[in-house]
Amino acid sequence: MTNLTKVILPGQTIGIIGGGQLGRMMALSAKTMGFRIAVLDPTEQCPCGQVADIEITGAYDDLHAIQRLADVSDIITYEFENVSFEALAWLSENSYLPQGAELLKITQDRITEKEAIIKVGVPVAPYFSVTEVSNIHESIRTLGYPCVMKRTRGGYDGKGQLVIHSESDIPAASDLLNGGPCVIEKWIPFEKEISVIVTRKTTGDMKCFPVAENIHEENILHKSIVPARIGEQTSRNALKLAEQLGERLNLVGTLGVEMFVTESEEIIVNELAPRPHNSGHYTMEACQTSQFEQHIRAICNWPLGRTDLMSPVVMVNILGDHNDNLLTAIPKLDDWKVHLYGKKDSISKRKMGHVNLLRSTVEQAFAEIEQSGIWN
């Protein structure tokens, strides 16, 4: 049986590299479908480990731990980008990893990611690679102020990033460079931030979820609004770009595509994430199939589920700053879909959970969010 036709059936074991909330929600969907779950994570009783059948504690680059995961799994997937490429390459040769390692390798580095997006024919913000301080000055002379400097590897939720507004920010930019190579991007004066979750099987079958409009606070996703408040043509263009990337990058599984929409409704791709995405959490109740179930269906070679939006929805993240407020408010939250991730320590700016509000209009959801006082 070739990889293109291999079907993973209920009762078999899905191994997940990474034990965070994405792995947890992936595991919960998979268990509903009848699968067993094994997880590899450095922390015991991680969010995914709490719901897994087999928990392997080890580093992501610990080949012995990777081999143990392979020994107990019929198929392996991953829940975040910072997995050891060498470990995935080994799994590609010695286990069944339908996603492969190549797309993860591309998206682990912002430069190779941008090069790949451009090669597909999809626009990104003008940028320069930065490896020394003189590159910062050279880049700014071309791009102008403001611009955005980001580490090429490892950043998330605004970590490893800096907006350069003026020459006074250069020392901080130099400090950022001490952590490794960076990229400087032209600042895009966007009207909206949006994202599309696209899922593709080994056979090439592919489906997108509806476009989400995203609102960030302090570089961390705060709300996702669906339907996105953009024009129909802009929405169609965003879906088309996501499908184009999925096809040309030979995607298997799930890809989150983050985009900017400019005043002239041009769409510029910001980042890719080759796994379920925070901005796709709204799908858990608002769509006929969640992004997590769809990911499991894709890698296991089941038919993809329908992605129709059943109700307007607003997803709001619960950070450590909001956790106590949410717990106090729970008895009064009528028809709120609350998802908490089982994290032991409630830390400021750390994602502890999210809520989905399905309402007749997004404005109604906004009003309830404001009245709740949870995020005030």
Written in H, E and C, the secondary structure of 292-314 is HHHHHHHHCCCCCCCCCECCCEE
pLDDT (tens digit per residue) in 166-214 = 999 999 999 999 889 999 999 999 999 999 999 999 999 999 999 999 9
Gyration radius from the chain CA atoms:
20
* 126-186 and 190-372: identical CATH topology: no
Q: In the predicted model, is pLDDT for residue 154 greater than 80?
A: no
Q: Of 240, 256, 300, give the one whose Cα is nearest residue 33.
A: 300
Whether 298 and 199 have beta carbons less than 8 Å apart is answered as: yes
Has residue 2 got a pLDDT over 60?
no
Structure token pair of residue 298 = 């894709």
330-365 burial, b at 16+ Cβ within 10 Å, e below that, comes to eeeeeebbebebebeeeeeebbbbbbbbbbeebeeb
Give CA separation, 364 vs 139, 360, 368, in Å: 45, 7, 6
Burial 119-155 (b: 16+ CB within 10 A, else e): eeebebbebbebeeeebbeebbeebeeebbbbbbbeb
Query: Helix, strand or coil for residue 209?
Result: coil
Residue 1 pLDDT more than 60?
A: no
When pLDDT is averaged across residues 227-233 and rounded to a whole number, the result is: 97
List the domain boundaries for the chain: 13-97, 126-186, 190-372
| pLDDT at position 160 over 90 | no
Residue 215 has pLDDT above 50, yes or no: yes
The tokens describing 167, both together, are 């020459």
Report helix, strand or coil for 93. Answer: helix
Q: What is the rounded CA–CA span in Å between residue 127 and residue 186?
A: 6
Residue 183's H or E segment, with its range, is strand 182-186
The residue with tokens 């298997």 is 252
Residue 282 clears pLDDT 60, i.e. is over it: yes
**pLDDT surpassing 90 at residue 156:** no
Q: Answer whether CATH 3.30.470.20 is correct for domain 190-372.
A: yes
For residue 300, pLDDT beyond 50: yes
Query: Which phi and psi angles does 357 have, rounded to 5°?
Result: -115, 110
The whole-number pLDDT of residue 253 equals 98
Give dist(CA 155, CA 233) in Å, integer: 32
Which of the listed CATH numbers 3.50.50.60, 3.90.850.10, 3.30.530.80, 3.30.1490.20 matches domain 126-186? 3.30.1490.20
Who has greater pLDDT, 103 or 219? 103
Q: What is the pLDDT of residue 174?
A: 93
CA separation, residue 24 to residues 178, 298, 347 (Å)? 34, 18, 19
Length of the chain: 376
Query: How far apart are the C-alpha atoms of 241 and 302, rounded to whole Å?
Result: 24
Q: Report DSSP state, residue 228.
A: -
Confidence bin at 157 (pLDDT 50/70/90): low
Query: Above 60 in pLDDT, residue 57?
Result: yes
CA distance 257 to 254: 10
* pLDDT class of 158 with cuts at 50, 70, 90: low
> Does residue 88 register a pLDDT over 50?
yes
H/E stretch holding 365: helix 362-372
Question: Does the structural domain 13-97 have CATH classification 3.40.50.20?
Answer: yes
Tell me how crowded residue 370 is: count the other CB atoms within 10 A of its CB: 11
